[in-house]
Amino acid sequence: MSYKVLIVDDSKLARMSVAKLLNGLKPDWPRFEAANAEDAMKMLADVQPDLVLLDFNMPGRDGLEVAAELRERNPSMPVAVISANIQIEIVNRAGDAGATFLPKPLTEQALAAFLTDAEQRLAEM
């Protein structure tokens, strides 16, 4: 089964990097991109993503705020916050928001583990 993925990052290069990894792991999963939190929230109704990959450090609202709002709207949606800021406080806040923390640079192994978990959770719904 394929799932729709929303990639949110203010850096086009970072979105391309995540999309490339995702394409290598799940080439049949449709991908959608947003450059910031506001665009991502606007896309939710149209795209109806199954899971979201969020950058932590974005202008306006950060990835943790968006993760919390996404989980509030859809508690079963798998959400990952991606950041080079690997402070324990950020990792804990991601967990508190119901999101998985993935360190930058994002590796294929880390993304694969998140996607496997997300697939299992989505299949149970």
pLDDT in tens, the chain (125 residues): 899 999 999 999 999 999 999 999 999 999 999 999 999 999 998 999 999 999 999 988 999 999 999 999 999 999 999 999 888 999 999 999 999 999 999 999 999 999 999 999 999 98
Q: Is 112 exposed, middle or buried (0-12, 13-18, 19+ CB in 10 A)?
A: middle
pLDDT value for 45 = 87
With a threshold of 0.85, does the pTM exceed it?
yes
pLDDT at 107: 97
Q: What is the CATH number of the domain that holds 89?
A: 3.40.50.2300
Rounded to an integer, what distance in angstroms lies between the CA atom of residue 74 and that of residue 114?
18
Give the structural domain span for 109. Answer: 5-123
Q: What's the order of all strands across the beta sheet hosting 31-34? A: 31-34, 5-8, 51-55, 79-83, 100-103
Count of structural domains within the chain: 1
pLDDT given at position 82: 97
Single-letter code of the amino acid located at 96: D
